[in-house]
Structure 1
Amino acid sequence: MKFVNGLTSNQAFVINIDHIFIELEKRNDVGRENNTIIGLHLISTPTRLEECLPPKFQKDVTDYFNQIKENSNNNKRYSKVIHLHQDIWNYKRKIVHHRLVAQLGLGLATSSTEQDGQEKERSTTRRIYARKTKVRHINATAAMEFLDTNHLWGTTKAKHNYGLFFAEKNKNTNDGDGEEEELVAVATFSTRRKIIRMGKPHRSHELLRFCSRRDSNVVGGISKLIKAFVTNQTPDDIVTLIDRDWGDGSGWQSIGFDTVATMDPIVMVVRPKNKSSHQDDEESCCPEPERRQLVGAGIQSTTNTSNIDNRGGKNNSTIIKNRDRMGLPIELLQELNSTDSTEAVLQKLSDYNYFPVYDTGVQRLMKLISYDDFDANKSNNNSTKMTTKTTTTTTTAAELLWQNSQPTYAKEYYSSNVGIAALLKNASMTPSCLPLMMVSDCTTTEQK
Structure 2
Amino acid sequence: MANECASQRTHADDAPDTRALVKANARYRHIIGNTPAIIYSSVPSGDFQLTFVSENASRVLGYEPWEMLDDPNFWFNHIHPDDTAAIFSSLAMLFVEDQKIYEYRFRTHDGSYLWMHDTLRLIRDAEGTPLEVIGLMTDITGRKQMEDTLQRQAEEQSALIEQLKMAQAQLMQSEKLASIGQLAAGVAHEINNPIGFVNANLNTLGNYVATLLEGIKLYQCVTNGSLPSSVAQSEMQAFEERADLQFLSEDVTELLAESNEGLQRVKNIVQSLKDFSRTGESNWQMADLHRGLDSTLNIANNELKYKVTIIKQYGELPMIKCLASELNQVFMNLLVNAAQAIQERGSVTIRTERCGQRVAVSISDTGHGIAPEHINRIFEPFFTTKPVGSGTGLGLSLSYGIIKKHGGDIHVSSEMGKGTTFRIELPIDPASAQPPSTASDEPGDAS
TM-score between both structures, scaled by the size of structure 2: 0.18
Choose between structure 1 and 2 for higher RCO, CA contacts under 8 A separated by at least 6 residues: 1
Structure whose residues are more often strand by fraction: 1
TM-score, normalised to structure 1's length? 0.18
Of structures 1 and 2, the larger Rg is shown by 2
Larger fraction in helix: 2
